[in-house]
Chains A and B, each alone.
Chain A
Amino acid sequence: MEQHASDLSNEFKRSSPSGNDEGSQSQPKQSTLPNGLRKSSRKHRDYIKISVPEPKNRLPLEWWKTGIAFVYALFNLVLTTVMITVVHERVPAKETSPPLPDKFFDYVGRVEWAFSISEINGMILVGLWCCQWLFLRYKSIAARRFFFIMGTLYLYRCMTMYVTTLPVPGMHMKCAPKKDEHYIQLRMLRSERYSAKTAEEKKEISQVKQLHGDSQAKLQRILKLISGGGLSITGSHILCGDFLYSGHTVMLTLTYLFIKEYSPSRFWWYHLLCWLLSAVGVVCILLGHEHYTVDVVIAYYITTRLFWWYHTMANIQTLRSSPQNYLTRSWWNPVFWFFEKNVQTRVPCSFSWPISWPPSCFKSSCKNYSMVQNARRQ
């Protein structure tokens, strides 16, 4: 080898560079080694970079999309709060409009402390989901889905709440006084005179219409409701009228569905616990006579359908490109595309520490081998 070093090893003769331009050359020098074998003591400039095609990341994080989903959810929550305030003014008084007949209420009398249980369960479930979310590896994708689905459910809720106002489900409900006496007057006029109105009556009604409003007080109520999270326990749920459909049921069901979906299937005891919390919470809503049964049933139906619909579309790739996929006819399909177009596969159930810290002793796994990865190695 040594004999043929300068001749044969590199298959062609290289004329050694004259002078002192050692630093700029990138061609291999006349070394005693054939192509590819270089003495490790050489500097980096002798290394040749082989470009490897980048493996396409099938689950990009894209935190900015999660940000948009968060803003969407926040917007819908605020809209719901505003809507509750508006609807509150329109709820008929308990005296004029007694609670509607409800089958559950006929059989089961009211239990005073039941609604607190429901809210506590809701808070526990939300807390559990938050903790679980912190440990997920693909936080941004899961959070995006959660915000989008929750936002859409609250949007639907705004619509159903607004179009028709149900009376209070029970005489025990304490509704804050209406700020809008003029609107009450308007409603009374309308309900009394249901048929065609004379010109005089119409004039009266239009005069009354101009008077109603009292935006500042309403704004205060909105802020109070948002800050308390809409819960009775925090004392922020004093407004009535948001009965169809039940937001509490939505949260209880949705957090349970997300907890179950994004946790290992081995943790059956955990799933059972969360299911119990959710079911007991929903039953307690009814026990407390805080919502009609139809509110709870419709809320459950819409939540589960939306969740399953979204996740099936997200998980089964062939559905997305299929022309016979009727799921694309929903109005939120473009938004779905925007969020999920780069997610190529089902989000695997893997966990990692929320902050980078070597997890030498953490051995939780979905399967038999450890799925916990060091965050720094991502």
Chain B
Amino acid sequence: MKKVVYWSSEEVSNWLAEEGMPEYTDSFQRLNGEDLLQLTEADFKKPPLSLVSSDNGQQLLNKIETLNIEHHIEAHKNGHANGHLIKGNDGDVGSKAKRNGMPNGFRNEMVQIHMPMPEKSHFPMEWGKTALAFIYALFCFVFTTVMISVVHERVPPKEETPPLPDKFFDIFDRVEWAFSICEINGMILVALWLIQWTLLKYKSIVGRRFFFIVGTLYLYRCITMYITTLPVPGVHFKCSPKLLGDWEAQMRRIIKMIAGGGLSITGSHTMCGDYLYSGHTVILTLTYLFIKEYSPRRFWWYHWICRFLSVVGIFCILLAHDHYTVDVVVAYYITTRLFWWYHTMANQQILKEATNTNFFSRVWWYSAFQYLEQNVSGIVPRNYQLPFPWRATPFSRNVKYTRLDT
């Protein structure tokens, strides 16, 4: 572009028309570039320009100034315009370095406006983390079984150490079949939870939480079982004989227990000594808490049934004199507190950072928690989804909307 000072009056009028100021065209008919540049505010106060201009010529003066800058930049094409010296050849860097003589923001060509990328999902699946949590839970289960086997060797025999005095046992006598009820209830609850879990949309996140909490509870259980060994709660117990030092037999025993899930019904719970605290109570309570948490609130009857199963199961443990009362109480306390603690931390963004007002960050598993939950922002919604694709069938056409996500 030619410098403004060299513009002819024709070019001036062209420029005025381009810039959308045709009202000056008449008055500036004899004005060339140099005169244009010399226009000042005072000129707009006197006629004839004062009659033509509506804003005392401000707009025009601004545009003239812009022109000035453009040409100043053009004149100093060594790149000072953008504040720094740009070295190098043309075309090797992006549009910013191209010397078009324009100041920052002034471009002649088309500019691409970047659209923000669609937001990352608030609830990424991250099955890898769920797998890790599963491995952790599995490890804790196996460790617990090994620990039970170790502790079994140390349980004092019934003859030497009678059962400890327990208030519940004083009030209620033993009922033979009660423990089977407890285990059946436990199995029903676990099955219900499993079915519910497969129907959840955010399976991986919920599964991760379940595995982590269950693993940690069993880990705590290992510790309390190991450090102090309580005697058997009742003379009815049939403890298998001790295998002092026989590692192979112990290994077989461990595998048998894992295969049976540690239940008496399956005949795998023949070892004694794992009293403080009660694993059955943990499972009963935890499955109920998870069922309640991740099911719709409308299903109050479902929650009541599960709660009933859970309470009856726990009561039956005590009725069968299979655990001391303190085992059950401590198990309930630790399970509920851990569950609430974890879920409060997961639901509040403010607790996911370790500040000094956040005492929750002082638990030992905080870094594991952060790893598992850092990408989950917000409360996991209770959405449901069939695990297999549901093809449209004749009878499903009548459904106007469904609560299941496709």
Binding site for B on A (CB under 8 A): 90-92, 96-98, 100-104, 156, 159-160, 162-167, 187, 190-191, 194, 196, 244, 265, 292-295, 297-298, 301-302, 304-305, 307-309, 311-312, 315-316, 318-319, 322, 324-327, 329-330, 346
The answer to the question of B191 belonging to the interface, with a C-beta cut-off of 8 Å to chain A, is: no
The answer to the question of B230 belonging to the interface, with a C-beta cut-off of 8 Å to chain A, is: yes
Q: List 23 A-B contacts (CB under 8 A).
A: A92-B162, A101-B154, A101-B156, A102-B228, A163-B166, A163-B329, A164-B164, A166-B230, A190-B170, A265-B356, A293-B228, A297-B224, A308-B362, A309-B359, A312-B360, A315-B359, A316-B350, A322-B348, A324-B344, A324-B379, A325-B347, A326-B341, A326-B344
Q: Please report the C-alpha to C-alpha distance between residue A100 and residue B379 in the assembled complex, in whole angstroms.
A: 46
- Which A residues are in CB contact (< 8 Å) with B359? 307-309, 311-312, 315
Q: Given contacts A102-B228, A196-B173, A294-B224, are A160 and B326 in contact (CB under 8 A)?
A: yes
- Are A160's CB and B330's CB within 8 A? yes
- Are A165's CB and B228's CB within 8 A? no
Q: Please report the C-alpha to C-alpha distance between residue A312 and residue B344 in the assembled complex, in whole angstroms.
A: 11
User: Among the listed A90, A187, A316, which residue makes an inter-chain contact with B358, where contact means beta carbons less than 8 Å apart?
Assistant: A316
Q: Please report the C-alpha to C-alpha distance between residue A112 and residue B347 in the assembled complex, in whole angstroms.
A: 50
Kindly identify, within residues 273 to 317 of chain B, every residue whose CB is under 8 Å from any CB belonging to chain A. Answer: 276
- Are B341's CB and A164's CB within 8 A? no
- Are A312's CB and B358's CB within 8 A? yes
- Chain B residue nearest in CB terms to A322: B348
- Are B227's CB and A102's CB within 8 A? yes
Q: Please report the C-alpha to C-alpha distance between residue A307 and residue B359 in the assembled complex, in whole angstroms.
A: 9
- Which B residues are in CB contact (< 8 Å) with A164? 164-167, 324-327
- Are B168's CB and A101's CB within 8 A? no
- Are B230's CB and A100's CB within 8 A? yes
- Chain A residue nearest in CB terms to B358: A312
Q: Please report the C-alpha to C-alpha distance between residue A96 and residue B156 in the assembled complex, in whole angstroms.
A: 12
- Are A165's CB and B165's CB within 8 A? yes
- Are B165's CB and A162's CB within 8 A? no
> In the complex, what's the smallest C-beta–C-beta distance from B9 to chain A, in angstroms?
63
- Which A residues are in CB contact (< 8 Å) with B235? 194
- Which B residues are in CB contact (< 8 Å) with A96? 162
- Are B360's CB and A297's CB within 8 A? no
- Are B357's CB and A316's CB within 8 A? yes
- Are B326's CB and A163's CB within 8 A? yes
- Which A residues are in CB contact (< 8 Å) with B324? 163-164
- Are A167's CB and B329's CB within 8 A? no
> In the complex, what's the smallest C-beta–C-beta distance from A355 to chain B, in angstroms?
31
- Are B165's CB and A90's CB within 8 A? yes
- Which A residues are in CB contact (< 8 Å) with B343? 324, 326
The answer to the question of B163 belonging to the interface, with a C-beta cut-off of 8 Å to chain A, is: yes
- Which A residues are in CB contact (< 8 Å) with B224? 294, 297-298
Given contacts A101-B229, A160-B330, 12 further A-B contacts (CB under 8 A): A92-B164, A98-B156, A98-B160, A164-B327, A165-B165, A187-B165, A307-B359, A308-B362, A311-B359, A312-B360, A316-B350, A325-B347
Q: Please report the C-alpha to C-alpha distance between residue A174 and residue B296 in the assembled complex, in whole angstroms.
A: 57
- Are A103's CB and B351's CB within 8 A? no
- Which A residues are in CB contact (< 8 Å) with B167? 162-164
Q: Please report the C-alpha to C-alpha distance between residue A102 and residue B341 in the assembled complex, in whole angstroms.
A: 30
The answer to the question of B261 belonging to the interface, with a C-beta cut-off of 8 Å to chain A, is: no
> In the complex, what's the smallest C-beta–C-beta distance from B161 to chain A, in angstroms?
6
- Are A100's CB and B357's CB within 8 A? no
> In the complex, what's the smallest C-beta–C-beta distance from B369 to chain A, in angstroms?
14
Kindly identify, within residues 226 to 275 of chain B, every residue whose CB is under 8 Å from any CB belonging to chain A. Answer: 226-231, 234-236
Q: Please report the C-alpha to C-alpha distance between residue A90 and residue B165 in the assembled complex, in whole angstroms.
A: 7
- Which A residues are in CB contact (< 8 Å) with B194? none
The answer to the question of B337 belonging to the interface, with a C-beta cut-off of 8 Å to chain A, is: yes
Specify which of A98, A294, A324 lies most central, judged by the most chain B CB atoms within 10 Å of its CB.
Answer: A294
> In the complex, what's the smallest C-beta–C-beta distance from A61 to chain B, in angstroms?
22
> In the complex, what's the smallest C-beta–C-beta distance from B213 to chain A, in angstroms?
13
> In the complex, what's the smallest C-beta–C-beta distance from A78 to chain B, in angstroms?
20
Instruction: Classify chain B: how many residues form its interface, as a range.
Output: 35 or more
- Are B348's CB and A318's CB within 8 A? yes
Q: Which 4 A-B pairs have the closest CB atoms?
A: A308-B359, A326-B340, A163-B325, A164-B326
Specify which of A101, A103, A244, A330 lies most central, judged by the most chain B CB atoms within 10 Å of its CB.
Answer: A101
- Which B residues are in CB contact (< 8 Å) with A165? 164-166
Q: Please report the C-alpha to C-alpha distance between residue A298 and residue B219 in the assembled complex, in whole angstroms.
A: 14
> In the complex, what's the smallest C-beta–C-beta distance from B24 to chain A, in angstroms?
53
Q: Please report the C-alpha to C-alpha distance between residue A166 and residue B229 in the assembled complex, in whole angstroms.
A: 11
> In the complex, what's the smallest C-beta–C-beta distance from B232 to chain A, in angstroms?
12
Q: Please report the C-alpha to C-alpha distance between residue A68 and residue B305 in the assembled complex, in whole angstroms.
A: 40
- Which B residues are in CB contact (< 8 Å) with A312? 351, 357-360
- Are B162's CB and A100's CB within 8 A? no
- Are A103's CB and B227's CB within 8 A? yes
Q: Please report the C-alpha to C-alpha distance between residue A96 and residue B161 in the assembled complex, in whole angstroms.
A: 7
The answer to the question of B135 belonging to the interface, with a C-beta cut-off of 8 Å to chain A, is: no
Q: Given contacts A92-B164, A309-B341, A324-B347, are A297 and B325 in contact (CB under 8 A)?
A: no
- Bitwise interface map of B from 166 to 183 toward A, beta carbon under 8 Å scored 1, else 0: 111010010000000000
Q: Please report the C-alpha to C-alpha distance between residue A165 and residue B337 in the assembled complex, in whole angstroms.
A: 24
> In the complex, what's the smallest C-beta–C-beta distance from B32 to chain A, in angstroms?
62
Q: Please report the C-alpha to C-alpha distance between residue A166 and residue B234 in the assembled complex, in whole angstroms.
A: 15
User: Among the listed A162, A293, A302, A327, which residue makes an inter-chain contact with B344, where contact means beta carbons less than 8 Å apart?
Assistant: A327
- Which A residues are in CB contact (< 8 Å) with B230? 100, 166
- Which A residues are in CB contact (< 8 Å) with B160? 98
- Chain A residue nearest in CB terms to B163: A191
- Which A residues are in CB contact (< 8 Å) with B350? 316, 318-319
User: Among the listed A100, A102, A324, A325, which residue makes an inter-chain contact with B231, where contact means beta carbons less than 8 Å apart?
Assistant: A100
The answer to the question of B67 belonging to the interface, with a C-beta cut-off of 8 Å to chain A, is: no
- Which B residues are in CB contact (< 8 Å) with A318? 348, 350
> In the complex, what's the smallest C-beta–C-beta distance from B47 to chain A, in angstroms?
46
The answer to the question of B223 belonging to the interface, with a C-beta cut-off of 8 Å to chain A, is: yes
- Are B165's CB and A92's CB within 8 A? yes
Q: Please report the C-alpha to C-alpha distance between residue A98 and residue B161 in the assembled complex, in whole angstroms.
A: 7
- Which A residues are in CB contact (< 8 Å) with B326? 160, 163-164, 244
- Which B residues are in CB contact (< 8 Å) with A187? 165
Q: Please report the C-alpha to C-alpha distance between residue A165 and residue B348 in the assembled complex, in whole angstroms.
A: 41
- Are B348's CB and A319's CB within 8 A? yes
- Are A346's CB and B357's CB within 8 A? yes
Kindly identify, within residues 351 to 406 of chain B, every residue whose CB is under 8 Å from any CB belonging to chain A. Answer: 351, 356-360, 362-363, 379
- Are B229's CB and A329's CB within 8 A? no
